[in-house]
Structure 1
């Protein structure tokens, strides 16, 4: 019976195998893309942390060039130091040059001041207040409108969104080829509690 298998049956078998292989290939591509996005988001966060730490060292009167060089040599940036904000600005008067406190003076439109929230915090906060899932482009447009002094790039916002997904603060859903983001239930509940407490 197997010797008399019609050619159409063999064609169907090959068609199914090719379709399965193609599906597996596309799934692997998506996995690699997700991993790449996560790594980009992690790199972006590390660069942002380095920028804040260098600014803080400059405020404290340290040599900016040696601080930047030292920052490049280290492999990890402690996150706990980011919250120090303007701590120690009163002690900066002993430096040779007058220093400027974070958030004052001229600021570049591309970065953020030391006291401002990160892109990840902004995206989580925006989605927690939104009435449904949003794409990275929609989130970028909303943040650009809400924060005109900061340069919003869709790739940076997408990385921040993926970071939120990795930390279980956001959820990702797909509709066709489009990806949408919404707050994780715990993040949405904490936003509603915060909104209720604020006047």
Structure 2
């Protein structure tokens, strides 16, 4: 009889612990969702601020063309990340989606003008990597391009997106060393990259 009582007590203790752990887990989920929503709102505000600054730069005669182009590429990844988390988001997301759609439309307009003979990001990235003997990180590529092309606004996010597009199109290879990601031209594309940078 006492064994049954002991077993019941242990079962009740475990059941209570599981209930407490479940409540803590759900509470943490809610906290994380709230933090995610706050960060998404902050990112939207920052993107809107950047868009305004780029337009002001264009009005004042700065190099707003390349900044606008960088803005378009940089915005594509956060928008994709936010869309991925849309399933967990709740009400109030629809107005944000409309805002992002307007931003993308505005970005296309800002990115449209391109100087004659100005190389694309892909040409710059593949041309630079074709001349390297070892793989380079996105930050290294961005730093090198910023030095080589000071007249263009170079953002690591834009460079990373371009590198990933190069991987997707079979022009570049991605390799990992620890937690770092490095890029190099695929053997067959090495000559093509050099030719593209020359042209």
Same fold (TM over 0.5): no
Instruction: Give the structure with the larger helix fraction.
Output: 2
Which TM-score tier does this pair reach, normalised by the shorter chain?
0.3 to 0.5
Q: What is the TM-score when the length of structure 2 is the normalising length? A: 0.43
Q: What is the TM-score when the length of structure 1 is the normalising length? A: 0.43
